[in-house]
Amino acid sequence: MDISVQDLKPGDSARITGFSQGDRDYRQRLLAMGLTPGVSFRVTRVAPLGDPVEISVRDFTLTLRRSEAAILKLERA
For the chain, give every domain's residue range.
5-76
Residue 3 has pLDDT above 80, yes or no: yes
Write down the pLDDT at residue 69: 84
Average pLDDT over residues 71-77: 89
CATH superfamily of the domain spanning 5-76: Ferrous iron transport protein A (FeoA) (2.30.30.90)
Q: Which of 49, 77, 48, 41 has the alpha carbon at shortest distance from 69?
A: 41
Write down the pLDDT at residue 1: 66
Write down the pLDDT at residue 38: 93
Collect contacts of 55-58 with beta carbons under 8 A, ≥24 apart: 58/34
Q: How many CB atoms lie within 10 A of CB 41?
A: 22
The H-or-E segment that residue 54 falls in is strand 53-57
What is the DSSP secondary structure assignment for residue 56, as one 8-state letter?
A: E
| Global pTM exceeds 0.85 | no
pLDDT in tens, 13-64: 999 998 888 778 888 888 998 899 999 999 999 988 878 999 999 889 999 9
